[in-house]
Amino acid sequence: MPEPVQLSVEAPFQGYQLQVVQEVLLALLAREASYGYQLRAQLQLALGPLAEALNAGHVYVTLGRLEKAGLVRSERVGQADRPDRKVYELTAAGRQRVADWLEDTSWPKPAPAEFHLKLVAAAAAGLADPVRIVDAQRHALLAGLAAAQRAALAETAGSVAGLLLEGVVLRLQADLRWLEACASYWASTKGR
């Protein structure tokens, strides 16, 4: 899968999705009933500067889907001076879904095999210097690391969103260390 060469600075920062939002909303409702605005605020706190990427309506749309699927039910509650709000609570099926999710140990896959084979193939075909390919990849990851680092430094010490950014940083760091090993290996095969 070719990596997008360079995302332009104007690339839209909004309209992203997170696959787990359904489960997250269910889990947030496990202790007590809540409403869209509050759930959204909880997500925003956890995501910090990345929260902007989520569509404003994403939480509401997802709650609607969960209700259709029978995982939550809602009730309209009147408020003084304001329109009614929908208060959501978990159904038994929803509770089961949360329990399953918390036990699930699947993990988003990193894909070293793809990049590894790209280097092997480039060397075998003599089309490109694997070390150059590694260097280009390194620059792309370093730019990502710089962005994550900047965002992490902007968080106050002890912020929960800072922990998310640290996850991004540490993963990139691991990838960069592997790229260093790739560079050493392919540099040492030159002239053999």
Partner 1 sequence: MHATRTPTQTGPVLRACGLRMDYGSGTGLVRAVDGVDLEVARGETVAVMGPSGCGKSTLLHLLGALERPSTGELWLAGRRIDQWSEKALARLRRSAIGFVFQAFHLLDELTAAENVELPALLAGRSPRSARLRASELLEQVGLADRATFLPSALSGGQRQRVAIARALSNDPEVVLADEPTGNLDSAATLEVLRLLDSLHSSGQTLVIVTHDERVAATADRLITMRDGSFVEETRLTHGTSARLVDLAGFEG
- The region of 30-38, 112-120, 121-129, 164-172 touching partner 1 under the rule CB under 8 A is 164-172
What is the C-alpha separation between 138 and 134, in angstroms, rounded?
6
Q: Does 146 bind partner 1 (CB under 8 A)?
A: yes
User: Tokens standing for 181?
Assistant: 């090993």
Compute the C-alpha angle 156/157/162, nearest 5°: 75
Give the footprint of partner 1 on residues 117-136 (CB under 8 A).
Answer: 135
- Residue 42 backbone phi and psi in degrees, to 5: -65, -40
Bridge partners of 86, per DSSP, are 76
Radius of gyration, CA atoms only, the chain = 22
Q: Which is nearer to partner 1, 96 or 188 (CB)?
A: 188
Q: Is 74 in the site for partner 1 (CB under 8 A)?
A: no
131 CB burial (10 A radius; 0-12, 13-18, 19+): buried
**Alpha carbon of 128 to those of 111, 120, 123, 149: distances in Å?**
21, 10, 7, 31
User: Contact between 59 and partner 1 (CB under 8 A)?
Assistant: no
Q: Site for partner 1 (CB under 8 A): which residue of 7, 99, 102, 160?
A: 7
Told to check if 65 binds partner 1 by CB under 8 A, we report no
Token pair in block for residue 4? 């997008």
- Residue 61 binding partner 1, by CB under 8 A: no
String of contacts with partner 1 for each residue 11-50, x by CB under 8 A: xxx-xxxxx-----------------------------xx
Distance CA 191, CA 94 (A): 61
Residue with smaller CB distance to partner 1, 14 or 96 = 14
- Report in angstroms how near the CB of residue 121 gets to partner 1 at its nearest: 23
Rule CB under 8 A: choose which of 5, 92, 153, 191 binds partner 1.
153
Residue 86 CB, shortest distance to partner 1, in Å, is 26
| DSSP 8-class letter at 48 | G
How far, in Å, CA of 99 to CA of 71, rounded?
A: 13
Query: Contact residues for partner 1 (CB under 8 A)?
Result: 7-9, 11-13, 15-19, 49-50, 52-54, 108, 135, 139, 142-153, 157, 164-173, 176-177, 180, 184, 187
